[in-house]
Amino acid sequence: MIQLALFARLEAKPGLEAEVERFLMSALPMARDEPDTPIWFALKLSPTTFGIFDAFHDEAGRQRHLTGPIAQALMARAPELFAIPPSIESIEVLGLKNNGAL
């Protein structure tokens, strides 16, 4: 059962919105390779605000993701791409509906 999640809010530097989009899209193959990350979304919240939402079965999976290749790439590119450091929130999942489409 999915119990835990993360939400990262990312604010693009002016003029780098398209680069942030490309960066997030390039992370999808890495997310697919993470067996402990069954749910992963790259989001565009506004023209300059982006996000990543991912969910996990347990804390060990969440911690592996936080030290994995996506997190490493995100932090390495943060000074270049983002107006402010990424805000990463730990979330507890209270309920989930999934029709098997994921």
C-alpha–C-alpha distance, residues 93 and 73, integer Å? 26
C-alpha–C-alpha distance, residues 73 and 60, integer Å? 20
Query: Can you give the pLDDT at residue 31?
Result: 96
Where is pLDDT greater, at 98 or 74?
74
Total length of the chain: 102
pTM: 0.92
Ordered by start, the domain boundaries in the chain are 4-9+17-86
**C-alpha separations of 45 from 9, 51, 60, 69, 98 in Å:** 9, 7, 28, 23, 22
19-41 tens-digit pLDDT: 999 999 999 999 999 999 999 99
Domain covering 4-9+17-86 in this structure, CATH number: 3.30.70.100
Q: What's the mean pLDDT in 78-85?
A: 97
